[in-house]
Amino acid sequence: MTRWVNTTQRVTGKKCISYWLPANKNGTMAIMKHLGEDCRHDTQADVSKIMWVVVRNPFSRIYSCWYNKVKIKSTFLPDLRSVFKPGDPFDVFVDWIAKQPDDRTTDNHWISQTANMRLANFKPNRILRFETLHDDWNLLADIVGLDKPLKPHNCTRTNLLDHSEHVDSYTESLRTKVLCRYQMDFEQFGYPDSP
């Protein structure tokens, strides 16, 4: 499976350099494509600079991961074949996720966002939220000096889902499992304890 790696990126703006720690299922590909030449791999972040991450509500992040990597056959992660069949139900995925460690052996798609930062020794001083990414991006872009507005991020089916479809997928048992598995994310980023 894809394993955790330190993927700190140096982002060069007109006003300053900043550093970003990408995380899967948080708009990473859209941001990397958008930044293009202004974004370069750099494992030696200068901590005196702006350090930023994009975080996402764990309930929607895990639902998106299941939808894109298990439910839809065309995007099924090949390494998951020993665990799932394409199209396996959401509850089976959450049961499995709940038992996964939060360390360097964990796949980038479901490692907790707090563990991702801890393992990279990355201490952000700016946190952007996936749910308000365009507004948050505009504030960051002004500070760093990025003149391109962020294009709509990854308009896949999971990012366009009716909120009720996502919420209705969570039974009380599944909600509790995700809350326990991603407890630090909920606490650190102040997300509500229900989808």
**Is there a domain that residue 42 lies in?**
yes
**Is there a domain that residue 116 lies in?**
yes
**Is there a domain that residue 1 lies in?**
no
Identify the bridge partners of residue 9 per DSSP, sorted by sequence position: 20, 41
**Is there a domain that residue 97 lies in?**
yes
- Give the separation between CA 16 and CA 192, rounded to whole angstroms: 34
**Is there a domain that residue 166 lies in?**
yes
State which of 6-10, 99-103, 158-162, 180-184 shows the largest mean pLDDT: 180-184
Residue of 133, 125, 135 whose CA lies nearest to 25: 133
Average pLDDT over all residues of the chain:
82
160 or 68: which leads in pLDDT = 68
Between 13-17, 75-79, 191-195, the lowest mean confidence (pLDDT) is in 75-79
Instruction: Reply yes or no on whether the pLDDT at 5 is more than 60.
Output: no
CB neighbours of 164 closer than 8 A, spacing ≥ 6? none
Instruction: Reply yes or no on whether the pLDDT at 158 is more than 50.
Output: no
pTM: 0.85
Domain count, the chain: 1
**Is there a domain that residue 29 lies in?**
yes
Q: What is the pLDDT of residue 8?
A: 77
Instruction: Reply yes or no on whether the pLDDT at 94 is more than 90.
Output: yes
pLDDT, average across residues 16-45: 78
Instruction: Reply yes or no on whether the pLDDT at 73 is more than 80.
Output: no
Q: Residues of the chain with pLDDT > 70: what percent?
A: 84
Contact 87, 71 (CB under 8 A): yes
Domain housing 21: 9-189
Instruction: Classify strands 17-20 and 39-41 as parallel, antiparallel or unpaired.
Output: unpaired
Identify the bridge partners of residue 81 per DSSP, sorted by sequence position: none
Residue of 109, 141, 133, 117 whose CA lies nearest to 54: 133
**Is there a domain that residue 91 lies in?**
yes
**Is there a domain that residue 2 lies in?**
no
45 or 109: which leads in pLDDT = 109
Alpha-carbon separation of residue 44 from 20, 74, 103, 131, 181 (angstroms): 12, 36, 21, 29, 30
161 or 141: which leads in pLDDT = 141
Q: What is the pLDDT of residue 84?
A: 86
